[in-house]
Amino acid sequence: MKNYKTQMEAAKKGIITEELKRVAEKERMEPEKLLTKVASGRVVIPANIGHMALSPEGVGEGLSTKINVNLGVSGDCKNYAVELQKAELAARFGAQAIMDLSNYGKTREFRRKLIAESPAMIGTVPVYDAVGYLEKDLLEITAQDFLKVVEAHAKEGVDFMTIHAGINRRAVESFRRQGRKMNIVSRGGSLLFAWMEMTGNENPFFEYYDEVLDILREYDVTISLGDALRPGCLDDSTDAGQIAELIEIGHLTERAWKKDVQVLVEGPGHMAMNEIAANMALEKRLCHGAPFYVLGPLVTDIAPGYDHITAAIGGAIAACAGADFLCYVTPAEHLRLPDLDDVKEGIVASLIAAHAADVAKGIPNARERDSQMAMARKNMDWDEIFRIAIDGEKAKRYFESTPPADRHTCSMCGKMCAVRTTNLILDGQKVEFCSEK
């Protein structure tokens, strides 16, 4: 029988769990080395005891950068079948996490199906689900009601939950005092801010934080401390509200660790490129090395329809500077609920950002596929090129859309392909363009 409740408690006791062993194999790391990182909180292995289909992943210091895919229904777009297709797409591309952000209707059946079938880590934001789950309007919901939703999600098998516990009265005071251009853009943060203002009460997740941790510990759910005051535009980045909340989150991180609850810390938001590295260092400093989970950051505000690109730019810089977990952004960000094509574009952009950062950080074996691609291109082995590519289907479709006369080249350069020319010369052959041969 297990003599530990959570992955963190096991690591502190020197116990190498099955989940830790599998993560160590994936990361090509000695289990004992990974054990010390989990024990210190610098790495998390989100693995709810009820998520039987899970293929465990590690997030944190020295590990490959992971990506998360958001999905879920809204009041204006409520097709659960399409959302399951998005989950299948995420699995096909190898996304390590899926967050169900459904905020409409009865979401339990969908969430249970997702947990039963998905090998990815499953995350939720309980405050989103509170109104529909409890069938109460926001003002009618009590502090204990919010905790009931947390417990329900934990029992169902959710691996990590975004809990906006850092937006307490002190953080709100800093936000109000400085003022902002975009105010609060976090959906969960805005709901809690509204509840606090309407009721006059403290944030229930902050006031009853120990009770929240007790629930999460029971099922080994990783707490993802949400950034309710993240910047929603460049002008609001690294302001008093954002930093005040991050200071609170640093304290909440230590409190969670004392109860052996694993912690992720969520980060910005919209931010100019020159501020990203400093923000990564600040989070690691204030939150004691806890893994950092970032949305973007989006490095400009003027690209609706292309925000998967602005986020990938920011995500690559962030991950290179210390972020551990990238939340994907799709072309539909700020515009609509993403469709399947949007989801694919968002996943691929995030995978590129994560991989580029891992290469730059020197993550073991990160460059293997790049080296394989270089050899495949040198040999003009198109089938191998398509196999190695992040999106081989798209690469093949592009190649075949304008077929070359000679399959050993592509239609851009034809026989004047630099690789072909150099290969022929090094093989002692002549380069001929005008002869029919």
Instruction: Tell me the binding residues.
Output: 70, 99, 128, 164, 186-188, 227-230, 266, 270, 293, 334, 410, 413, 417
Residue list, annotated binding site for substrate: 70, 99, 128, 164, 186-188, 227-230, 266, 293
Spatial contact of 68 and 326, defined as CB atoms under 8 Å apart: yes
Residue list, annotated binding site for [4Fe-4S] cluster: 410, 413, 417
**Cα dihedral 328, 329, 331, 336 sign:** positive
CA angle, corner 118, sides to 215 and 100, nearest 5? 60
- Residue 183, CB-side half-sphere exposure with 13 Å CA sphere: 6
In which residue are the tokens 């204006």 written?
Answer: 76
Residue list, annotated binding site for Zn(2+): 270, 334
Cα Rg of the chain (Å, integer): 23
3-state helix, strand, coil in the chain (%, to 5): 50, 10, 40
Q: Which candidate, 279, 195, 273, places its Cα nearest to that of 234? A: 273
Beta-carbon contacts of residue 120 (< 8 Å; ≥ 6 apart): 54, 55, 57, 69, 87, 90, 91, 95, 96, 97, 98
Residues in the chain: 437
User: Measured between alpha carbons, how far is 229 from 259 in angstroms, rounded to an integer?
Assistant: 26
User: Measured between alpha carbons, how far is 325 from 277 in angstroms, rounded to an integer?
Assistant: 15
